[in-house]
Chains A and B, each alone.
Chain A
């Protein structure tokens, strides 16, 4: 995880002027445009752009969860086809394109490892973005994108012992018990680290605060 920390990024942004929102969000507004192009006119070029940015990350995610490289290639293709199929259901006011892809790739593995990981069967029913939502205003999307930026800077600044627990759970799909066993820590310590990490991120995580 080598996202560069951004020293100029405020820890808990509460107010955004339009220009700074625009500037910070630039890296993400392009992918929101791609999503809209895929959803509204089946734009293959936009899809190819999205594929180039995210398919390798999706593959890395699948491999971190135990898929062999060949299987991960095939599964990544399936994940990207789901993106094509469900682009119209993506809700930018709820979260980033990356968050949507995260949940799709997480679920993709459950559908293929049944039997091997019986314990986790059935989690495939977790649908991150289950209902079609009204399209967000560009203001909302920009705000979400900006918050995502701030979030990734904060994540990079977490103490390593907190970040590695989040990565164990999120990236490799470990339970907190498994995180604890692997690091020979008491479960309570792992839970505390998760809580501390989330407290630091909390102000940035709420894409839709109580409005």
Chain B
């Protein structure tokens, strides 16, 4: 593989698996997974093309349906409402107030749409600032997280699937050194234990979706989690 020109980011190397994209396109993915996948897809040309292809399968299935007759007058009712329904020519530009320390992170549109406001950021443990995104996820959390360079997430297991999408900086797996950079998605299921750290020297901003509670497996992790819950 030839290195990219200086200043150009490599495309993501960790992707959403095919069955994940199928569930995403079918509208069967959980809310947290859908947000994570949407963020990855908006940063990954290959997966965006795959999503477009999968949507065309959906279109073909729609076309093949014999259909269900609508009640009488349905068309007239809709026609009567057209005049009061203005047509869009372009989507209005999104103006989301991004906190100053996130400027330059180039957050993808699906994330910006979910970002509540510039308020609400809190430091949960030293080296980790988070903002909760407005999703109802009992026992879990959907958060945008800013890790200080070198910050570690101690060895832990997961009470439910975990989806991480990195926007700036990188996260590294302690065990095998795998690196997750911009656009990369990391998916971990219950029973998959790991320890991660943000690459030293630069902060890492990532979407972290946990569909179940984290289960720290070290004393330090348990202490950090106890602090974080306050």
Contacts and interface: CB of A to CB of B under 8 A. Distances in A.
B19 to A, nearest CB: 5
A174 B28 contact: yes
Q: Closest 4 A-B residue pairs measured CB to CB?
A: A122-B31, A99-B59, A56-B67, A98-B59
Contacts of B113: 125
A132 B91 contact: yes
Given A42-B87, A89-B88, A125-B38, A102 B55 contact: yes
Give the size range of B's interface with the partner: 35 or more
B29 interface: yes
B82 interface: yes
B211 to A, nearest CB: 9
Interface in B112-136: 113-114, 135-136
Give the size range of A's interface with the partner: 35 or more
Contacts of A107: 27
Contacts of A9: none
7 contacts: A1-B64, A39-B87, A48-B79, A84-B87, A98-B62, A132-B91, A170-B61
B78 interface: yes
A206 B58 contact: no
Contact of B87 (A61, A85, A147, A169): A85
B107 to A, nearest CB: 14
Given A99-B59, A128-B55, A80 B32 contact: no
A166 interface: yes
Contacts of B85: 81, 84-85
B56 A126 contact: no
Interface in A39-53: 39, 42, 44, 47-48, 51-52
Interface string A42-86: 101001100110111111110101000100110011001100111
A171 B71 CA distance: 22
Given A198-B18, A207-B52, 12 more contacts: A1-B64, A77-B74, A81-B85, A96-B56, A99-B52, A99-B62, A103-B58, A122-B35, A170-B25, A174-B28, A175-B29, A205-B53
